[in-house]
Chains A and B, each alone.
Chain A
Amino acid sequence: NAGVTQTPKFQVLKTGQSMTLQCAQDMNHNSMYWYRQDPGMGLRLIYYSASEGTTDKGEVPNGYNVSRLNKREFSLRLESAAPSQTSVYFCASTRWEGSQETQYFGPGTRLLVL
């Protein structure tokens, strides 16, 4: 049981390049999320997917697109990277135990846009 996995771990892009961040979970969770973490800003929600086939915008969706490929996989795409998108990106999925919801996070992708 690998939990939430993310690829790549680290990426350097030039301004204007595109890339896709991959996320997969093997816990059969319905909901999945993409966050970015910046110094002094905390974790901010980019997009989320309540269930397979649905996606919704979070707090900071501009410049990003997502695809919920199936129940396991949720990808984040940067179509034209900008230096402001330099950040650490975390994917998460949610498990419910009774009334308690736990978000499980992946190890993160560090992205540097030059």
Chain B
Amino acid sequence: QKEVEQDPGPLSVPEGAIVSLNCTYSNSAFQYFMWYRQYSRKGPELLMYTYSSGNKEDGRFTAQVDKSSKYISLFIRDSQPSDSATYLCAMKRNTGTASKLTFGTGTRLQVTL
């Protein structure tokens, strides 16, 4: 069983829809949680970074962490065609000089006009 599970999709939604992307994890040692966005043939870029359980909002994006359920989510409001990308969740055990991230496999999102 993988430490981090993520539905690969693809997920297709119409423009303006609310998108929900999710990851589950098995290791309770994970303390920091991230969402990366990866456009086709590009490197991932950090979208959201959270530490504690609860919600964190940044513009149209909200990251949610539920440590008791070992479940994290990314919500995208008013989705745009430019949001079409693969979204990777990532997590790590602790902070330090070099932190090793564990990534989900990514969910491919397509926002249609």
Contacts and interface: CB of A to CB of B under 8 A. Distances in A.
Interface of A: 4, 30-31, 33, 40-45, 48-51, 56, 58, 90, 92, 94, 99-108
Contact of B101 (A30, A45, A49, A51): A45
A30 B95 CA distance: 14
A49 B49 contact: no
Closest 9 CB pairs of A and B: A105-B43, A50-B98, A42-B105, A43-B103, A31-B98, A42-B103, A50-B97, A102-B46, A105-B44
**Majority secondary structure, A binding face:** strand
Interface residues of B, number: 24
Contacts, number: 62
Interface string B88-112: 1010000101111101111000000
Contact of A31 (B45, B51, B97): B97
Given A40-B105, A41-B105, A103 B97 contact: no
Contact of A100 (B44, B49, B88, B105): B49
